[in-house]
């Protein structure tokens, strides 16, 4: 009986740790980009498991995932969404929680006040929603 209770407790603990594990993402980046590596570290420090893939033709990646018009230096895939560039985890978590009907979100260019690009300044970084219908991106959040 005692052995059964211990086994049950271990099963419950193992199951709950899997359920609350890190969110997996795939991140495409240029092999020579230092800010991309910093962004990978930032994601890992904030609860994501990152599969970083070095890619020499980032333009093809951005075109494949529909974010060429809001491009930054790296492209991340998470739970069916695209995260383009140095997007703070707060915006990613909001997208994953709210599940909007969009391609994804973007911090176009390489804003200096974004994760991996220097000191973040709260309330100064505009994140854009990338619509599925090819319309112009709309403001998703200000981080």
Does residue 5 fall inside a structural domain? no
For the chain, the domain total comes to 1
Does residue 7 fall inside a structural domain? no
pLDDT in tens, 46-101: 999 999 999 999 999 999 999 989 989 899 999 999 999 999 999 999 999 999 99
Does residue 15 fall inside a structural domain? no
Give the model's pLDDT for residue 37. Answer: 83
Range of the domain at 52: 23-142
* Domain CATH code at residue 63: 3.40.30.10
Q: Model-level pTM?
A: 0.82
Please state whether beta strands 75-78 and 102-107 pair in parallel, antiparallel, or not at all (unpaired): unpaired
44 vs 21: which has the higher pLDDT: 44
Query: From CA 13, how far away is CA 15, in angstroms rounded?
Result: 5
Three-state SS for 86?
A: coil
């Amino acid at each position: 009986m005692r052995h059964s209770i211990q086994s049950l407790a271990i099963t419950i603990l193992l199951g709950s740790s899997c359920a609350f594990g890190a969110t997996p993402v795939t991140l495409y980046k240029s092999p020579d980009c230092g800010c991309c590596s910093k962004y990978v570290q930032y994601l890992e420090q904030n609860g994501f498991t990152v599969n970083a893939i070095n890619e020499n033709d980032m333009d093809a990646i951005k075109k494949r995932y529909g974010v060429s018009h809001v491009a930054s230096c790296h492209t991340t895939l998470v739970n069916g969404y695209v995260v383009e560039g140095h997007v703070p985890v707060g915006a990613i978590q909001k997208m994953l929680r709210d599940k909007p009907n969009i391609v994804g979100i973007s911090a176009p260019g390489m804003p200096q006040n974004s994760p991996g690009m220097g000191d973040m300044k709260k309330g100064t970084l505009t994140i854009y929603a990338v619509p599925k219908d090819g319309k112009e991106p709309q403001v998703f959040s200000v981080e």
